[in-house]
């Protein structure tokens, strides 16, 4: 317990030098009690599922944010996320927590690296001051701001009434045609309707416009055309009314409604949304029916002609934002304008922070939605590096994700800088390079899920190495270089690849082997692997992108595991399979199968409480009377994968179809996941491994994996290498984009891109075996691999 005594020359406030956690029971934590030193760098280690995130994010950060949110008015709280008080007996010494996670940034096309940081705003101010010709305020250079002109009159009572003329003008920088998106869309009419049919016969072929539905009746009952007339026979006026008519209020089937043509209606309901957030069937329709082309008016810059006409040192703001940030920093330093010297100095420091954090290869115009999880996390870091805040708690979720060993050193320096400003830095991490710089280490485990949730070690890094815990034993692990690489069965040729920063790359990727693509962040690895492989190569791409689905989705539903389980329950009990789905007939009527009930409290934040009827089990009580192997369906969904393998592998519950899926989940290191855990709670690495387990049942010949070691403990990397070997030995070709040196050392063939990032990369700097790379380490990857293998 923290001492209440003070040292000479100190006040009582100086004695609060630890964050004290007592009796934490969030998720799988088992009455965890620890003391975390303030103004130090503390790293939390342990295998996936051991409880690290539950302690750091679900307990410490969540309670800090909840307490801060409670200081706001009820009205403001209504716009904030709901945070329940974590299950913990005592939490003392908390400071303001700033979570810097790997959640991808907004997918809106108007959200860019520039708008997500202060850099874009400072550039707009700079052009409003120095740009020639002068256009207007900083708003005149914003593609998120339309130009507005308004005229009117208002009545003011001052003894007698009199009208005052009012005019309002605001100059924005938004391109009128594309509305600041940089692209324009067009709809293929052939994909909207079948001209040989009438509306009554179901002519519309748009998702959600099923014959008889309300969207459909809006058109059949509008009175503008004969619903029994084939669309191919429509007059020009009728076709215009169907497709392009402007919104008009009218009574349709006795209800006052707004009628508008299909094209403007679809533009608002579908095309204005981020493609990745759409449901799969709608996304498929949009891909089929919509063409995206660069806006011809602004040439993709998103800006009005006036904004593009204003220049500083011969460049307009669109050209400046398109520059690589490292080059932009040099351009800003070259401006000598005493009138805006403080602004130039601040902008220069912000841009230098991008370079320092390893993101100098980006441009400010880069859409935020295209950043990887690791890139998004580092962009968020830029905001905090120049912050004047001190004595706050920064919480990082694997900040080294997506970083080459060369870049990890820079990340470590930045974490230490945040600490040295007087902040408490909490880091969830697996990489030994970052664990090594910790002032304090908390190791959780010893296993995952129900086998984890306890503190195995707390203290210094040296003590961790000697502790004998799973992390301590594996901290010095080194994978040996592959001595006898496999002989390729063929090659996958890539010719003239020039996506993004690739410089007309020609490369032959071996088939029937484990190929690792390496290089510093931004060198062009993803552009080569995800954007340049031939479309007919039978490639199965498994990335860390979010899995589309609601909070009802879980590993059992996503992998297809629930289908054979439901059939096995139905066969054993002589009832319908639909009874054993929480999204169908078997759902608890009180919570509709959600397991929780959501209450909207108006202006205050809504609440989620466990359903009292089913006690969170999601099923109707009558369904839980049906059993298989002595277990009901809710008990089966509460099983970890490892337990479920044994349950469905033999005995009364033996189900071969379920066992095959469970074996694949265990193969990818997810034996600790419960079958019913919501997909929304999985980390990026866990999501990728769930996808991999699903795709392992497909017939694709080439697997492309994007950093499969993300979120993996050192002890689990060996299991992953075994899985990759089994995939290759079964006849698959595996291409891995990876920085982890154990995977690079284990490869049959390495393709190293670089030598730098952005326009300094995009070239193949090495092709060959790991042994050849170490023998002549001429690249950054070679230097680090040689040091790793020789340790």
Model pLDDT for residues 334-344, shown as the tens digit of each residue = 998 999 999 99
Is the pLDDT score of 29 beyond 90?
A: yes
In this prediction, residue 791 has a pLDDT band, given cuts at 50, 70 and 90, of very low
Average pLDDT for 119-134? 95
Name 759's bridge partners.
none
In this prediction, residue 641 has a pLDDT band, given cuts at 50, 70 and 90, of very high
Strands (E), 498-612: 505-511, 514-518, 539-542, 596-599, 607-610
How far, CA to CA in Å, does 658 sit from each of 479, 566, 645, 650? 34, 10, 8, 11
Average pLDDT for 225-234? 88
Average pLDDT for 29-47? 95
pLDDT for 288 equals 82
Is the pLDDT score of 700 beyond 50?
A: yes
Name 703's bridge partners.
540, 734
d(CA 427, CA 394): 8
Model pLDDT for residues 149-192, shown as the tens digit of each residue = 877 666 666 666 666 667 778 899 999 988 898 988 777 878 88
Model pLDDT for residues 95-119, shown as the tens digit of each residue = 999 998 777 676 677 889 999 888 9
Least confident of 17-21, 157-161, 543-547, 653-657: 157-161
pLDDT for 593 equals 87
pLDDT for 548 equals 64
pLDDT for 5 equals 44
Residue of 287, 288, 243 lying closest to 266 (CA atoms): 243
Is the pLDDT score of 2 beyond 80?
A: no
Asked if 469 and 443 touch (Cβ cutoff 8 Å), the reply is yes
pLDDT for 90 equals 94
> Counting Cβ atoms within 10 Å, is residue 410 exposed (0-12), middle (13-18) or buried (19+)?
middle
Is the pLDDT score of 544 beyond 80?
A: no
In this prediction, residue 660 has a pLDDT band, given cuts at 50, 70 and 90, of very high
Asked if 49 and 672 touch (Cβ cutoff 8 Å), the reply is yes
> What share of the chain in percent tops pLDDT 90?
46
- Residue that the structure tokens 């009364």 belong to: 652
pLDDT for 208 equals 81
Q: What is the mean pLDDT of the chain?
A: 87
Average pLDDT for 34-41? 96
pLDDT for 157 equals 62
d(CA 321, CA 319): 6
Least confident of 85-89, 275-279, 306-310: 275-279
Is the pLDDT score of 709 beyond 60?
A: yes
In this prediction, residue 52 has a pLDDT band, given cuts at 50, 70 and 90, of very high
Is the pLDDT score of 311 beyond 50?
A: yes
Strands (E), 301-386: 311-312, 315-316
Least confident of 691-695, 703-707, 737-741: 691-695
């Amino acid at each position: 317990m923290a001492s209440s005594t003070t040292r000479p020359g100190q006040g009582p406030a100086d004695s609060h030098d630890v964050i004290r956690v007592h009796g934490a029971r969030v998720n799988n934590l088992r009455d965890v009690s620890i003391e975390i030193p303030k103004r130090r760098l503390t790293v939390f280690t342990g295998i996936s599922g051991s409880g690290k995130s539950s302690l750091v994010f679900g307990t410490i950060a969540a309670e800090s944010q909840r307490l801060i949110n409670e200081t706001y008015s009820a009205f403001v709280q209504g716009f904030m996320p709901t945070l329940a008080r974590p299950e913990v007996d005592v939490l003392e010494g908390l400071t303001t927590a700033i979570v810097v996670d790997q959640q991808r940034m907004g997918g809106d096309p108007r959200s860019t690296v520039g708008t997500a940081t202060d850099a874009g705003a400072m550039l707009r101010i700079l052009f409003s001051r120095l740009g020639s010709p002068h256009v207007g305020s900083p708003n005149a250079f914003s593609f998120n701001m339309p130009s507005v002109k308004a005229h009117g009159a208002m009545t003011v009572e001052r003894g007698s009434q009199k009208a005052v003329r009012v005019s309002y003008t605001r100059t924005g920088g938004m391109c009128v045609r594309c509305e600041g998106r940089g692209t324009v869309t067009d709809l293929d009419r052939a994909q909207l309707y079948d001209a040989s049919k009438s509306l009554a016969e179901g002519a519309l072929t748009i998702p959600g416009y099923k014959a008889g539905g309300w969207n459909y009746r809006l058109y059949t009952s509008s009175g503008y055309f004969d619903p029994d007339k084939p669309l191919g026979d429509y007059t020009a006026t009728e076709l215009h009314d169907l497709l392009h008519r402007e919104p008009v209020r009218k009574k349709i089937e006795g209800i006052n409604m707004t009628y508008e043509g299909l094209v403007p209606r679809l533009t608002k309901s579908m095309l204005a949304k981020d493609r990745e957030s759409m449901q799969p069937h709608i996304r498929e329709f949009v891909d089929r029916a919509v063409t995206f082309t660069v806006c011809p008016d602004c040439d993709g810059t998103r800006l009005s002609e006036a904004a593009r006409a204003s220049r500083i040192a011969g460049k307009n703001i669109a050209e400046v934002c398109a520059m690589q940030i490292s080059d932009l920093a040099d351009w800003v330093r070259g401006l000598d304008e005493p009138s805006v010297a403080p602004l130039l100095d601040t902008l220069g420091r912000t841009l230098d922070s991008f370079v320092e954090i390893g993101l100098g290869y980006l441009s400010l115009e880069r859409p935020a939605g295209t950043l990887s999880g690791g890139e998004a996390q580092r962009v968020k870091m830029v905001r905090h590096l120049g912050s004047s805040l001190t004595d706050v708690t920064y919480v990082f979720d694997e900040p080294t994700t997506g970083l080459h060993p060369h870049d990890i050193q820079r990340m470590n320096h930045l974490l230490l800088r945040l600490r040295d400003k007087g902040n408490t830095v909490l880091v969830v991490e697996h990489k030994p390079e970052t664990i090594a710089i910790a002032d304090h280490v908390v190791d959780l485990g010893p296993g995952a899920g129900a086998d984890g949730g306890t503190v195995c070690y707390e203290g210094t890094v040296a003590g961790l190495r000697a502790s004998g815990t799973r992390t301590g034993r594996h901290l010095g692990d080194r994978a040996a270089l592959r001595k006898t690489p496999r002989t390729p069965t063929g090659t996958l040729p890539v010719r003239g690849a020039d996506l993004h920063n690739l410089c007309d790359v020609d490369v032959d990727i071996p088939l029937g082997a484990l190929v690792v693509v390496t290089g510093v962040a931004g060198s062009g690895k993803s552009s080569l692997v995800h954007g340049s492989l031939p479309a007919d190569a039978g490639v199965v791409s498994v990335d860390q992108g979010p899995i589309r689905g609601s909070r009802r989705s879980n590993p059992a539903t996503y992998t297809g595991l629930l289908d054979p389980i439901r059939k096995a329950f139905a066969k054993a009990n002589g009832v319908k399979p639909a009874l054993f789905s929480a999204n169908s007939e078997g759902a608890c009527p009180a919570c509709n199968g959600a397991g929780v009930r959501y209450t909207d409290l108006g202006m205050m934040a809504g609440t989620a409480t466990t359903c009292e009827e089913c006690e969170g089990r999601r099923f109707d009580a009558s369904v839980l009377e049906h059993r298989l192997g002595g277990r009901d369906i809710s008990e089966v969904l509460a099983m970890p994968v490892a337990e479920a393998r044994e349950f469905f592998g033999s005995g009364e519950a033996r189900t071969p179809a379920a066992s095959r899926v469970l074996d694949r989940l265990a193969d990818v290191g997810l034996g600790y996941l419960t079958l019913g855990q919501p997909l929304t709670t999985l980390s990026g690495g866990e999501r990728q491994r769930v996808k991999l387990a699903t795709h392992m049942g497909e017939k694709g010949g080439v697997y492309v994996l994007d950093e499969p070691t993300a979120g993996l403990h050192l002890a689990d990397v060996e299991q992953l290498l075994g899985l990759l070997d089994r995939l290759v030995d079964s006849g698959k070709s595996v291409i891995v984009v990876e920085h982890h040196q154990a995977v690079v050392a284990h490869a049959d063939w390495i393709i190293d891109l670089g030598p730098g990032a952005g326009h300094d990369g995009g070239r193949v700097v090495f092709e060959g075996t790991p042994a050849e790379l170490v023998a002549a380490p001429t690249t950054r990857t070679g230097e680090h691999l040689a040091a790793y293998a020789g340790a």
